[in-house]
Structure 1
Amino acid sequence: MNSAALGDLRIEQVTTKKGLNQFIDMPARIYRDDPAWIAPLKFERMGVLDKNKNPYFEHARAEYWIAWRGDTAVGRISAQVDDLAQDWQGKGTGHFGFIEAEDDPEVFAALFKTAEDWLREHGMTRVLGPFNLSVNEETGLLVDGFEHPPRLLMGHARPYYDAQLKAQSYTGAKELLAYDFDALRDLPEKAQRIIKKGRANKRMKIRALDKKNLVNELKLFIEIFNDAWSDNWGFVPMTENEIVKMADDLKLILRPHMCRIAYWDGEPAAFMITLPDLNQAIAPMKGKLFPFGWIHLVKNILLSTPSQVRVPLMGVKKKYQSHLSGALMSISLIEECRIEGRKRYGLERGELSWILEDNKAMRGMLVAFGAKEYKRYRVYEKSLV
C-alpha cells in the first residue's frame, strides 16, 4: 500500500489483494453494535472491486484508500472517473464511494482530501456521490430509516455521516427514496380499477422473463431501461459487457415469474425486475460463505425464496410515459409480480427503490398502490475548483 501520514492518522492506498480484503472488512468495526447492518458477501464485494473482473473498469478508473490509526482501520473511501459519466453527467464530474468511517472529523477530512486530490489530478472539477461504484449499482447515502436493514444492493450508514459530509462542504444534489409495499394487503380500490382496465385492454400483453435466454432477455430489458431513463438525473447507460455480467451474477436468484415485460401493440414497451432480498438470507453469514454460510445460502435462495423482495429496475419507454398506456403497464407489472410472488414464493413485502424525490408521477402511482416511503438516501456534490 502507498501511504500518507497525518500525525498518528495515515491514509494508505489499496494496491494488494490483502489491502482489498481489509478495505472490504473495514465497515464491520463501524457497525459492530448496529442490529440493522448486514455484512455483504465478501466474494461479491471482491467481484465488484476487482479491476480485472468488473466490466465497469472498461470505461472507468478508480482507486481505494483506508484510513489507519496504528493497526486499526478507522475509515475508507474510493474515487472514480467514469468516461461514460462524462457524456451523461457533465464533463469534469468525478465520483466518490464506499465511504465508511468512525465519527471523527479528522478521519473524514483526510479521506475526502485524498479522494478529491486524486480526482483533481485526473482533470475533474466536480465530485458527486456516493456511488459504489456507479449509479447503476449502490447509490446514495442513507439519511433516514436507519432502523431498517438494507435490502439487496442498497446501502446502510450511520446517522452521523450526513453531518460529517456537510462539514467537508458537500451539499445535497438529489434525494432518493425507498418505498415499502405490503404484498399481503388488498390493493386500494383506485389501483384495482386501473388493473381491471389493463386486463381488458387487448393492446397490452405481459409475459414472464425467459430464463433459458437470459442474456438476450436482459439486453431487451436494458434497451427499454436506457430509453426510459436517458433523460433522468444521473443516468449512465449500461454496456453490453455489464449486461452479460449482470446475467451471470443474477442467474441463480432470478425468479422468472417475478421479472416481467409488457408489450403495447406488439412492441416491447415496459419491464420490471424483482429480485429476492438476498440480504434477508445472508444476514446470519456475517459476509462469509465458509465454513457454514453456504448452508444458509442454499436453504434460503436455491431451495426456497425469501419472503421479501426488491424492485431495482423498472422502466417504461418515453413515448408511453405521458399516456394512460404507461400507467396501465406500470401498475399491471407491479400487480402481476405481486400475485405471482404470493402464489409461488410466499411473498410478504417488497421494496421499490430507488425513486427520485422529484419523480412525482412515479411516487403518486406508488402511493395509489398502497406503498409507503420508509427510507431516504442522499447524493452529494462539491465543486473541486
Structure 2
Amino acid sequence: MQIIEVKNKKDSKDFLDTARVIYKNDPVWVCPLDQEINNIFDPKENVFFQNGEAIRWVFKDDQGNLIGRIAAFINENKANFGAQRIGGIGFFESVNDKSVAFKIFDTAKKWLVERKVNTIQGPINFGENDSFWGLLVEGFTHPSNGMVYNPPHYRDFFEAYGFEKKMEQLTNHLNITDGLPERFVKIAEYAISKKTNLTLKPLDANRFDECAEDFMEIYNAAWAHHENFTPIKKEYVKDTFKKVKPFYDPNYIWFAYVDGQPASFVLVLPDVNQILKHFNGKINLWNKLRFVMLKRKKTITRLRVWAMGTHPKFQNTGLESVLVYKCFEGAMKSHYVEGELSWVGDFNDKMIAIHKALGAVPGKKHITYELAIK
C-alpha cells in the first residue's frame, strides 16, 4: 500500500478523485464541489487555520489505484477540554476492506498522537458543524448540500476500530405540500399578534454586514453553554453569506428582533445538490450557466433548514416557531415539496419538539464518533 501526503495539485486531485472512485456505481451519491473541498484545506480560505493545522493523505494499492483517503486536523481553540486533548478526522473514504480502512485510521491517529491528542472525534469537518459532519447510519437517500453521505459499511469500520458514539445527529423530513399542522400555525400566529415589540426581517443582500453581526451575536449567545464551544467570528459568517448568495432566497432566511435587539434567526436554503448532482464536482463556466438555467426551471424542490438559534434572553417565547412559520408560509405557495430539518443533536430536546410539532418524520441519522487513545 502507498501512503501519500497531499502536498501538491496532483495529490489534491487524487484526494478528490478518490471519492469519485468509491462512488462510481452509486446513483444516490452527489459529488461535492471540488472547490468547496479544496477551500477547506486552504489556509487563505479557511479561518480555522489561524488557530490550527490540517493534513490529508491519499492511499493507493501497489498498482497505483486509489483505494482511500482521510484528513486529520486540530483546532487549538477547541482542542483542550478538561483532561481531553481533542483532534479530528474527516473526509474518510475507503474501499470495502477492513484492513485498508484500519491502515487509514492508523495513519491519521499517528499524526494526532504526535500532537499530544488523546481523543479523536470523527468524522468531522475542519470548520463549523453545519457541513461534512458525522457518519450516515440511517437514511441512505439523496444527500442535501453539506450533508455527509457514505456507504452503510463505514459504520462497521469505525466501530470495529474502537470508535464509540459521542452523539446522534437527527434529520427529519417535512412534506411541504401537506401544509403545517393547524395547532402549530395558531401558536405562531398568536405569538406574532401578541408581540408588539417584535420585528421580523429577511436577510437583505444590501445589509450583509449588519446581518452577519446579528447572526454572530445570536449564535454565540445561544451555543455558549454547549461543551467545548468556541464563538464564531464575523469573518466566518460573512464568508458563509457570500457563499450562499448565488442561490439563497430571502423568503427563507429570517431574523427576529425584540425591542430592536437581535433575538432569533432561521437559515433555510434551497437544496442545490439537486442541481450539483449533474456537475460531478466541477463548477466551470458551462456548469455555472447550466446552474442558472436549471434553477430557472425550478429543478430544486427541496429546502434544507441549515441552522436555527435564539438568544437565551428570548428562549421559550415561541420565536423559533414564528420564524419556521414565516419560512414555510411562503414555501407552501411555491414549487417546493419537501423540507429537510437538519441536523439536530440528540441532546437538543427543544428543537426535536419543534420538529415533531411541525409533523416532520425521521429521515436520516448521522453519528459523531469518539475514540479514546490509551
Determine whether 1:283 maps to 2:260: no
Q: 1:331 aligns with which of 301, 317, 321?
A: 321
Aligned pair partner of 1:226 in 216, 220, 236: 220
Q: Distance in 2 between matches of 1:303 and 1:375?
A: 28
Q: After the TM superposition, which residues 66-85 of structure 1 pair with which residues of structure 2 at under 5 Å, given as runs?
A: 66-69=58-61, 70-85=63-78
Task: Answer yes or no: is the 8 Å Cα contact 1:62–1:81 preserved in 2.
Answer: yes
**Gaps (5+ residues) in structure 2?**
none
Within 2, Cα distance between the matches of 1:47 and 1:262?
Answer: 32
Which residue pairs with 2:372 in the alignment?
Answer: 383
Identity of aligned residues (%): 29
* Partner of residue 16 from structure 1, selected from 8, 15, 20: 8
C-alpha separation in 1, matches of 2:33 and 2:311? 34
Q: Structure 1: which amino acid aligns with 2:7?
A: T
Q: Which consecutive unaligned segments of at least 5 residues does structure 1 have?
A: 1-8
Aligned counterparts of 1:79 and 1:200: Cα–Cα separation in 2: 50
In the TM superposition, what is the alpha-carbon distance from 1:199 to its structure 2 partner? 2.3
d(CA) in 1 for partners of 2:294, 2:82: 39
Cα deviation code 1:192-250 (max 9, x no counterpart): 22112112112322111111111331221122011112223464322233223213212
Cα distance 1:260–1:359, how it changes in 2: closer, same or farther (>3 A)?
Answer: same
Preserved CA contact (<8 Å) 2:216 2:233: no
Q: How much does 1:265 deviate?
A: 3.2
- In structure 1, C-alpha distance between the alignment counterparts of 2:247 and 2:227, rounded to whole Å: 29
Work out whether residues 88 and 235 of structure 1, in 8 Å CA contact, stay in contact via their aligned partners in 2. Answer: no
**Structure 2 matches for 1:44-193, cutoff 5 A?**
44-69=36-61, 70-86=63-79, 91-136=84-129, 137-146=131-140, 148-193=141-186
Give the root-mean-square deviation of aligned CA atoms.
Answer: 1.9
Q: Secondary structure at the match of 2:200?
A: strand
Match of 2:27 in 1: 35
- The alignment of Structure 1 onto Structure 2 pairs a total of residues equal to 371
Distance in structure 2 (CA, Å) of the matches to 1:15 and 1:358: 39
The secondary structure found in structure 2 opposite 1:365 is helix
Whether the 8 Å CA contact 1:56–1:242 is kept in 2: the answer is no
CA distance in 1, matches of 2:354, 2:237: 28
1:237 and 2:210 equivalent? no
State TM-score, norm by structure 2.
0.94
Q: Is the Cα contact below 8 Å between 1:261 and 1:272 reproduced in 2? A: yes
Name the residue aligned to 2:331. 341
Q: Judging changes above 3 Å, is the alpha-carbon distance between structure 1 residues 305 and 209 closer, same or farther for their aligned structure 2 residues?
A: farther
Determine if contact 2:304/2:341 at 8 Å carries over to the other structure: yes
The residue type paired with residue 369 of structure 2 is Y
Q: Distance in 1 between matches of 2:271 and 2:227?
A: 26
Partner residue in 2 for 1:6: none
TM-score w.r.t. the length of structure 1 is: 0.91
Name the SS for the 2:218 alignment partner: helix
Rounded to whole Å, the distance in 2 between the matches of 1:189 and 1:350 is 18
Say which SS state the counterpart of residue 309 (structure 1) adopts. Answer: strand
CA contact (8 A) 1:12 1:67 kept: yes
